Structure formats: structure tokens, C-alpha cells
Chain A
Amino acid sequence: MTFLIGPECVDVMDRSCVRVCPVDCIYEGARKLYINPEECIDCAACEAECPVQAIYFDEDVPEELSWAVADNAAFFTEVLPGRAAPLGSPGGAREVGPVGADTPRVAGLPRAADG
């Protein structure tokens, strides 16, 4: 069980969620943010802050977004473009800073302006 961020966040990235995460487990990609499922303590603080309701508890994810559960995890377990190793569980997003890359699926999403 974990919370995760859906594609609604793509290109919004206002970071409201980051400011309330007590364990600092919300990491910044290039176009979207990702919750580290290993580090998240399920406190639900972030869910209420998101202006675009992009944050879901995994059991509540609507069918059409179910891919986002694995995609969020993949941000930490797969090697992202331009990196040598997976991010893993670094224990704090502030120390890591913006990662500057996304999962392939998110990177490939159309920009809002493109329709």
C-alpha cells in the first residue's frame, strides 16, 4: 500500500505536496513528481494539498490510471535516462534535488499545449 501521483501532475508540478510530506519522500522528475513507495508512510498529508487531485491511494486508483502505480515505483527501481543506476530509496528528496528525468511513459505524454 502506498500513495502515488497520477499524470494530472504532469507539467503542473507546483510542489504543494512536497511541502507537507513529513518524510520527504516525494521526488521531482522533469515533468512530474513521484512518491517513493518504500519510503511513504501512508499519512495522506499530500493528498489533500494537491490542487489538481493528482494524488491517489493505490487501492483507489481508477481503472484507466492503474498503470501509474507501477510507473511511480519504476521511477525508483529502473535506471532513468541519463543516469547510471536506479534512484532506489535515498531517504530524502531535499538531499537529492530535482532528478531531471522521467519514466519513459511520462516522458512520452503529450504536452498540455499540444492538446
Chain B
Amino acid sequence: MAVVGAGPAGLFTADELVRQDRLPVTVDLLERLPVPFGLVRYGVAPDHPKIKAVTRSLQKIVEHPRVRFLGGVGFGAELDREDLLRHYDAVVYAAGAPADRGLGIPGESSPGCHPATAFVSWYSGHPDAGPPFALDARHAVVVGAGNVALDVARVLAKPARALERTDMPQPVLDALAVSKVTDITVLVRRGPEHTRFTTKELRELDELDGVAIRVPPGEAEPGGGPLDRTAENNLALFRSWTGEPAAGTERTITFRFWRRPVEVRGTPSVRELIVERTRLDASGALTGTGEREVLPAGLVLRSVGYRGLPLPGVPFDHERGVIRNAGGRVVDEAGEPCPREYVAGWLKRGPSGVIGTNRMDAAETVALMVEDLIGDRNGSGGPPIDALLRERGISPVTLDGWRRIDAAEIELGRRAGRERTKITDWAELRRLGGVPG
């Protein structure tokens, strides 16, 4: 079996495949990066080491004797759909949702207005991260009410000393240490009860050293309707933050509700964000009231969700940003299954759900695979991919290569008194991974 992408979805798929005993399998994990773990490595906030510890479980999957890690092998680059279908009995696409969603408002592409994706990739040390962020504005606005918005706001707000021990690359720590950002606004287009923040993540803000959390009076008001436990808990927190911030804090995070962005203004770079007040209409849909407000903003980060990218040759639902599928079986435009092709994770469901959600999701896909493949003896065992890779001059980063990268990062961190410091340079990662040239 080939699994495309070694993030949580790909790894849980591999795990389910080698755990079931109805079909004898070996799994190749084809990952475009030289390293495994996907967004656990390049998304999960660096100041959340406890959640990052999930890599211990994920590493066990990478090390399974019937699983093979092949890093630096990208679908659509090193290998394509035909190659995989020729060399494997089945393929599972688990390449995640790496693109960002836009706001669709004027001025969005001005300098100083970025997707949260870019900021997260930068502070996580992703080898494809764009230019470094210069944090020289006082006011930052984060648009969105999901956990990613919270991660971004927290990283902006935390004093550099509180991030010093994380695995962030040194240049990132240096940039954060001289950050001039003091006022961070989290802009929520609906009410406090509609936020998608996990209560535990929200509560963590209360514990930030030197950071005041604030909600303007009268704004943490729900729009009506029944509340579930999370909504109630979040609402209670927002109410507890209502009022003026305590004096003497270094930075403030302000939550604004019932406001949506309508225009980004400023040349040559962002100076303000125009927002419009919103409410729910009789049908429960969000509408603007026409009433506008200007928020000062030298940095705008939009955290309004991720989006999957099409894989060449594989049926794609452009509206939802996922591979067309039925429960994990890839299907064509007409809804007919494409034999031997499957999908798991964010590329299957869209960009929501936590790490563990992908375990259940992978189990669903693997159950269908086993059901489909158990009677099908035609395709068993195409020629191994190794000869083809050699022919194309591709030498993958193997488990040993990944172990060397891992050890080098731990060593780099140790010298600075940290558990790990990420290596961000493609060439260096490949060299450590044992890729010649």
C-alpha cells in the first residue's frame, strides 16, 4: 500500500493497516518533506509541548517493521498517480489541507495582511515558509474564532522569555523578542457562543504572564438560542474578561464580537481594518448591519480556515477543497468509485478536527479498503517502487535519515538549553537525511 503524506491521517492509516489481520500488508509512507508528522510538527503550537508529545506515539508507527518512511517523495513531483497505481495495490491520499482561505475583501493582498498559515509556518520553521515576519506594528488583528486564531494571538502576545525554551528556530525567537506588537485584537464575526475555541485553550490565556485579556462591555452577548456545554463555558470566560484591562501589563488581547472585516486599508502597507457590525437575521443567517468601525492595524492575520489542494489526476471537489470521496473511497464526478484509491484526514473531510479525529477517520477508510481488497487478488504486489525511484535519481530520506535529522535538532536545542531547535533549511535537512548532492 502507498500512503501519500506522513501527517496524523497518513500515520493513523498506516497504523490501522498494519494492525488489521484480514489482509497482509506492507505500507510505504510517501512524504514530500524529509520529515514526518505533518501539522503536528508544523502546526501544533511550539508552546504546547504536551500535545507535541503525540509524536512519541506517531514515531512508533513510523518505526513499525511493515511501514517504510520515504521522505522527500512528493506526489505530483517525484511520483504521479500512474506510478503509484502501477506499483501498489492501493493508494491512500492523506496530503492534508495546506492552502489558506481568503476573506474576499478589498486590500487583502496588501503588505502586512497575511494568512495565519504563513505566520504559523514561519514560527514552526517549515522549510517552505516565506520571508520572515517583521513585527514592527503596535496593533495586530487576528480574524477568525478557531483554535488557530488563538494560537496565533497567543504567540504574538507571549513575552519572548516564555517562548525561549520552545523548538522555534533562533531567527524566529529573535524576531519575537523585538516585536513591537502590544495590542492584539481577535475579530469574531458571530457571537461569543459561536466561537470554535476549545475552552481549555481559551482558559490558558488567563495564565499568560504580563498579558491582559479584555472584552469591551456589552459585546460578549449571545445571539439567542440554546447553548451547549462548550458554548456556555466559553461565554462565561468572555464575560469574566469584560471590562478594562488591569494596568501594568505588557500586552493586551481584546476579543471583538459581531464584527466582520470588509476592507483592508493603507499604503504602502496595512494601517487599518474596516469592520462592519453583524447580527443574525430571522433565519439565523449572518448579515451586516451597515454600521462600520475602523480598527487600527499594522498587521492583519486571517485565520479563517485551511483548504486542500488538488492532486494531479485525482477527482477533486473544488468547492469544499477535498478529494471527491464516499467515506474514504475516492469517487469520480458521477459518484462512481475509483478502484484502489482512497483518502483520509483533512484532504477527505476538510480542514477541521483535532489530531485524534484523524484516527477515527483513518479507521473508517481502512475498513473500506479491507472490504474492497480482500476479495481482489488481481493486483497483489506490483514491482517495488525502489527501482523506479533509482531510475529517476531520487533517493528518499528513510527512517535512518529521519533519525539523524531528529538527533541533529535535539543536539542543536541542547546547546541552547532547549529540548529541540528546528532545522529549517531544505538543503540541510536533505543532507542530514542522507540525500546525496
Contacts and interface: CB of A to CB of B under 8 A. Distances in A.
B50 A42 contact: yes
Contact of A42 (B51, B360, B363): B51
B360 A41 contact: no
A22 B359 contact: yes
A43 interface: yes
Interface residues of B, number: 25
Nearest to A22: B356
User: By CB atoms of chain B within 10 A, which of A43, A44, A46 has the most?
Assistant: A43
Nearest to A3: B200
Contacts of A24: 57
A79 B1 CA distance: 43
A41 B54 contact: yes
B354 A45 contact: yes
Contacts of A20: 354, 356-357, 359-360
A60 interface: yes
A43 B199 contact: no
A43 B359 contact: no
Given A41-B53, A43-B54, A21 B356 contact: yes
Given A42-B200, A44-B354, A45-B354, A21 B229 contact: no
A43 B233 contact: no
B8 A22 contact: yes
B355 interface: yes
B198 A23 contact: no
A66 interface: no
Interface string A8-50: 0000000000011111100000000000000001111110100
Contacts of A19: 359-360, 363
A53 B229 contact: yes
A45 B355 CA distance: 8
Contacts of A41: 50-51, 53-54
A46 B354 CA distance: 10
Contacts of B356: 20-22, 43, 45-46
B51 A43 contact: yes
Contacts of B200: 42, 44, 57
User: By CB atoms of chain A within 10 A, which of B19, B200, B230, B233 has the most?
Assistant: B200
Interface string B290-329: 0000000000000000000000000000000000000000
Nearest to B230: A48
Given A20-B359, A57-B200, A60-B233, A43 B354 contact: yes
A69 to B, nearest CB: 15
A71 B329 CA distance: 42
Q: How many interface residues does chain A have, given as a range?
A: 10 to 19
A46 B356 CA distance: 8
A94 B21 CA distance: 14
Contacts of A48: 230
Given A42-B50, A45-B354, A21 B359 contact: yes
A43 to B, nearest CB: 5
Contacts of B54: 22-23, 41, 43
Interface string B350-381: 00001111111001000000000000000000
Contacts of A43: 51, 54, 354-356
Given A43-B356, A45-B356, A57-B199, A23 B363 contact: no
Contacts of A60: 199, 233
Contacts of B233: 60
Contacts of B358: 22
B204 to A, nearest CB: 10
B429 to A, nearest CB: 25
Contacts of B58: 22
A112 to B, nearest CB: 22
A54 B58 CA distance: 27
Nearest to B203: A59
A42 B233 CA distance: 17
Nearest to B147: A44
A39 B8 CA distance: 18
Contacts of A23: 53-54, 56-57
A42 B8 CA distance: 17
Contacts of B229: 53
Given A41-B54, A94-B19, 10 more contacts: A19-B360, A20-B356, A22-B58, A22-B358, A23-B53, A23-B54, A41-B50, A43-B356, A45-B355, A45-B357
19 contacts: A20-B359, A21-B356, A22-B12, A22-B356, A22-B358, A22-B359, A23-B53, A41-B51, A42-B50, A43-B51, A43-B354, A44-B200, A44-B354, A45-B355, A45-B356, A45-B357, A48-B230, A53-B229, A57-B199
Interface of B: 8, 12, 19, 50-51, 53-54, 56-58, 198-200, 203, 229-230, 233, 354-360, 363
Interface of A: 19-24, 41-46, 48, 53, 57, 59-60, 94
